[in-house]
Structure 1
Amino acid sequence: MNVGQRMTRNPITITPDMSVPDAQALMRKEKIRRLPVLDKNGKLVGIVTARDLIHASPSPATSLDMYELHYLLSKLKVEKVMSHPVITVTEDLPIEEAARIMADNNISGLPVMRGEVLVGIITESDLFKLFIELFGARHQGIRLTVLLPEKRGELAEVSSAIAKNGGNIISFATFEGEDPTNSYCTIKVNGIDRETLLDVITPLVTRIVDIRES
């Protein structure tokens, strides 16, 4: 799955000369937390987040009165608080690579470019939705987490055993284990009862870590 399949297309944008209060109002109205900033030629020049705008507000400890604060804030432009240059991605980038870039750079969203043109934005919320799908969280079934030995054909053996006993795999995900010799695997299935699932899987795995209906 690539970024282009999960991004928000044609994101709402602002210009560098928009005031901070106007940008905050736009975020509240549209229920979003970040805005790409385009110059008059449509070129991406920055990105501003709700946190950036909050940090731009004067400190509560200031000696200015309320009217002075509002006046100063109304004059503060987005270009003064936006982040630039901007880390961007392309539509054909694998979604997990976009997640890695966000995590490594401690950012919550990435503008998506097609050449010099902004075509979308991928955010942490998009990744959360994908995470829900990955684990089949909106489907009823038995959720089983096991510790598997790291050997060729192990996943195929587990999935085949489930299928042969009438189970339907809703989701199947693997993760780093306790050491290089093993890995965790979380499987969600339906069409098979708990006892049968345990009888089928237990001989194939190092350990049953967790099992529950969800």
Structure 2
Amino acid sequence: MPMTVRDVMNRFVVAVEATASFADVVTAMCRFHVGAVPVVDGERRVIGMVSDSDLLLKDLDRRPGDVIIEGPSRRRERRKASGRTAAQIMSSPAITVTEDTTLRRAASLMQRNRIKELPVVDGETGRITGLVKQSDLIRAFCRPPEDIRDDVVEVVSRYSRRCAVRVEDGIVHLVGGVARRSQLFAMIEEVWQVDGVVDVDSSITFETDDVDRAVSAGAPRRTGPVESGEGQ
């Protein structure tokens, strides 16, 4: 089974209310050595996030009298820079995950949105239950090689009984054969989804190339006249 946020999350969460002052937010982040804090409402539902990047916007140059042509992004930054409470500083809506979210999905959300922390919320109530950080996701690559191999063998066995699996330093080595080329593609894709896999070294062969056949069958056929010299 893929590792989920539940396996690595921190259940101790430093959060602030929307009415918390700028100074209160800074104090909380410094005291607990965190780079971001969720902003919650009265029922501990996450309504936003304040990161160290949001706080540093206070350093934006706001000299009076300057005439600056600004885009929407810059205007949002300046509004945050003038904020005095967590509600005015935070990025909203917050990007969240649940405890059942896979680590790969969480990593994808962080990379796509350029963030380092994700609040973990209850899927039904929306209340915060924890926090997951980029450094937590690295634990997916700390799995013992025998655990990785067991998961890979489970995947491979669905496609062939003629494959040998070896795992070294997170690299999966596959030797053997499958019946069809399409099976090879699907199997390798599933192996890549196993937590802890760093790379896949495949020496798998196939008996029938059903991929090229499918492409050829779907290729458009020319129905117009044959050009001069063709077909001779």
Q: Give the AA of the match of 1:110.
A: L
Aligned match of 1:112: 120
Aligned match of 1:68: none
The CA RMSD measured in Å over matched residues stands at 3.6
Deviation at 1:34, TM superposition (A): 0.9
DSSP-derived class of the 2:16 partner: coil
Residues 43, 127 of structure 2: 8 Å contact kept: no
Partners of 1:9 and 1:171 in 2: CA distance: 30
Structure 2, unmatched stretches of 5+, are 65-80, 146-158, 173-183, 205-232
Deviation at 1:61, TM superposition (A): 6.9
Q: Give the AA of the match of 2:89.
A: V
Aligned match of 2:102: 94
Which residue of 92, 104, 123 corresponds with 1:84? 92
Partners of 1:74 and 1:59 in 2: CA distance: 9
Partners of 2:90 and 2:52 in 1: CA distance: 10
Structure 1, unmatched stretches of 5+, are 64-72, 137-151, 160-168, 175-179, 188-200, 206-214
Aligned match of 1:124: 134
Aligned match of 2:111: 103
Which of 1 and 2 has greater Rg? 2
Q: Give the AA of the match of 2:111.
A: A
Normalised by the length of structure 1, the TM-score is 0.57
Partners of 2:42 and 2:133 in 1: CA distance: 25
Which residue of 23, 26, 39 corresponds with 2:25? 23
Residue by residue over 1:156-189, the C-alpha shift from the partner in whole angstroms, topping out at 9 and shown as x without a partner, is: 5351xxxxxxxxx564245xxxxx99999858xx
Partners of 1:61 and 1:46 in 2: CA distance: 25
Which residue of 1, 7, 10 corresponds with 2:9? 7
DSSP-derived class of the 2:18 partner: coil
Residues 91, 113 of structure 1: 8 Å contact kept: yes
Deviation at 1:134, TM superposition (A): 4.8
Residues 2, 91 of structure 1: 8 Å contact kept: yes
Q: 1:24 to 1:170 in 2, by over 3 A?
A: farther
Normalised by the length of structure 2, the TM-score is 0.53
Residues 17, 79 of structure 1: 8 Å contact kept: yes
Deviation at 1:93, TM superposition (A): 1.4
Partners of 1:120 and 1:135 in 2: CA distance: 26
Deviation at 1:128, TM superposition (A): 3.1
Partners of 2:82 and 2:112 in 1: CA distance: 34
Partners of 2:40 and 2:112 in 1: CA distance: 25
Deviation at 1:21, TM superposition (A): 2.3
Bigger relative contact order (CA 8 A; separation at least 6): 1
Q: How does 1:108-187 map to 2 (within 5 A)?
A: 108-114=116-122, 115=124, 116-131=126-141, 133-134=142-143, 156-157=163-164, 159=166, 171-173=169-171
**Count of residue pairs the alignment pairs up:** 152
Structure with the largest fraction of strand: 1
